[in-house]
Amino acid sequence: MTTVTSKRRLRSPEEYRESLRDGRRVFYRGERVEDVTTHPFFKHAVEHAALDYRLAHDPAYRELAVTADGYSRYFNVPGSPADLLARGKLIEAATRAGKTLVVLIKEIGTDALFALLGLRAQLGEPYASRIDAYFEHCRDEDLALCVGQTDVKGDRSLGPSQQPNPDAYVRVVERRANGIVVRGAKAHTSVSANANEMIVLPTREMGPDDADYAVAFAIPIDTPGLTLVASPYLASDGKVHAEHPISAARKMVETLTIFDDVFVPNERVFLAGQHELAGPLARGFVEFHRFTAVSYKLPLLDALVGVALLAAQANGLERAGHVRDKLSYLVAYAETVRALTHHAAQRCRFVREVAIPDTLLVNIAKLHFAQGLHTAFQHVQDICGGLLVTYPAAEDLDHPDYGPALRHYLTGASGTPGAERLRVMNLASDLTTGEYGGYQAVLAVHAEGSIETEKLTILAQYDRELAMEYARWLAGLDDSPWSRA
């Protein structure tokens, strides 16, 4: 990898905020957003993302967030298990520090950069040189990147070129000497409204008839013809922090992103027509992105364990057999996902000096998380009790007339103050029963790959022939001594 000397390697939070005031076309509830840094809905997302930049300048995090040569660790191309573990540790620490239990801003985009770098030999020239140059640009400018991968898809039983609506997948509609023109839309583009640039990737395998849909490129968010329509889900309107400690301030925004005949210059085009490379590039991103996914889920699992312990303590149920059983499940659940994530880094494979997390273990970790989250929610809710959804408002506890009585009657085991017990219930409710709990439940099923996709990947990655050969030997069906390790 070519290294260049840059005049600026780490941006400040202020520089990041200023970079978003560029006239981008962002819409929220039908209205154009003039400035995402000040808009009531988007400013929380901006401040949440700015934490990635603050941590790089914080002495307590600098060793974790910055490499020895002065770049953000997010842009450190993993070349060893230690590099992957350090990246996972940074993602987990940043998510924990952000208190929202979702990613900040640099994680997803650098997953896509690594996928491009890992496949540049297959992509060949001129794409390989363009990828190298773009990577250096993003690293040296310390950019905030997002990814557009999931197409709207239309009839999911049909391929891109078979769709009645030809724009159900992003496609090339014009080829010029100096670039391409693309049309279509990408769904679920996380952190796009407050990113600097978007990397667009294919979403699936493609055939010869899909050549126009086999496209990958990168563009600034203020590119003409690019429109971002923000989802209002989890808006903070009417929420107070006391009752919604996690979701009172919406901290990550997803958009439906429209490409209305967007021109992409040649130097930003990384794939345009080579249909046989669409699948490998889509999977290359996922191999890194699911590692990011399970890394940032760990603080959520720790939060579920912690609030369950607090609720058991406040309710005087720490020694109840069924509660201890549920607590042991929550601990084992969290630590199993953590162990699988770390081992996936340690058991990485290498593609031209780029370390890729073990695909089998990453998908097992993601599947274990996805299938276990609803049970984890159920256990937390059971330990908390019905007060989880019938608690009084924080203002009621402060009422001069009946507030003292409420605090008295809500006093928990071992003298746990009523106000403290209520805050525990508020946290558990926000995590598991309301909009935020629903958001995390849907993410578990669909984000970073669906449950069914993870199952298929696990089956494809496991050495089934080796297992069957061993079983045949044990059954006496094969006479030769077992020798394969």
Domain with CATH 2.40.110.10 in the chain: 13-275
CA atoms within 13 A on the CB side of 351: 18
- How far is Cα 108 from Cα 289, in angstroms, rounded to an integer? 7
Q: Which of 254, 244, 131 is nearest to 190 (CA)?
A: 254
| pLDDT digit string (tens) for the chain, length 485 residues | 334 444 567 999 999 999 999 999 999 999 999 999 999 999 999 999 999 999 999 999 999 999 999 999 999 999 999 999 999 999 999 999 998 889 899 999 999 999 999 999 999 999 999 999 999 999 999 999 999 999 999 999 999 999 999 999 999 999 999 999 999 999 999 999 999 999 999 999 999 999 999 999 999 999 999 999 999 988 888 888 888 889 887 788 999 999 999 999 999 999 999 999 999 999 999 999 999 999 999 999 999 999 999 999 999 999 999 999 999 999 999 999 999 999 999 999 998 889 999 999 999 999 999 999 999 999 999 999 999 999 899 899 999 999 999 999 999 998 999 999 999 999 999 999 989 999 999 988 888 888 998 999 999 999 999 899 889 888 989 876 666 55
- How far is Cα 357 from Cα 114, in angstroms, rounded to an integer? 12
Q: What is the CATH number of domain 13-275?
A: 2.40.110.10
Domain with CATH 1.20.140.10 in the chain: 281-468
- How far is Cα 413 from Cα 312, in angstroms, rounded to an integer? 9
Assigned token pair, 342: 């770390």
* CATH T-level topology, domain 281-468: Butyryl-CoA Dehydrogenase, subunit A; domain 3 (1.20.140)
User: How many helices (H) and strands (E) would you count in the chain?
Assistant: 16, 12
pLDDT at 4: 43
- Containing 471, the helix (H) or strand (E) segment is helix 464-474
- Rg over alpha carbons for the chain, rounded to the nearest Å, is 24
- This prediction has a pTM of 0.92
Burial class (CB in 10 A: 0-12, 13-18, 19+), 441: middle
Q: How many residues does the chain have?
A: 485
Tell me, what DSSP letter sits at residue 160? G
Please list, in sequence order, all residues whose beta carbon lies within 8 angstroms of the beta carbon of residue 166, skipping any fewer than 6 positions away.
none
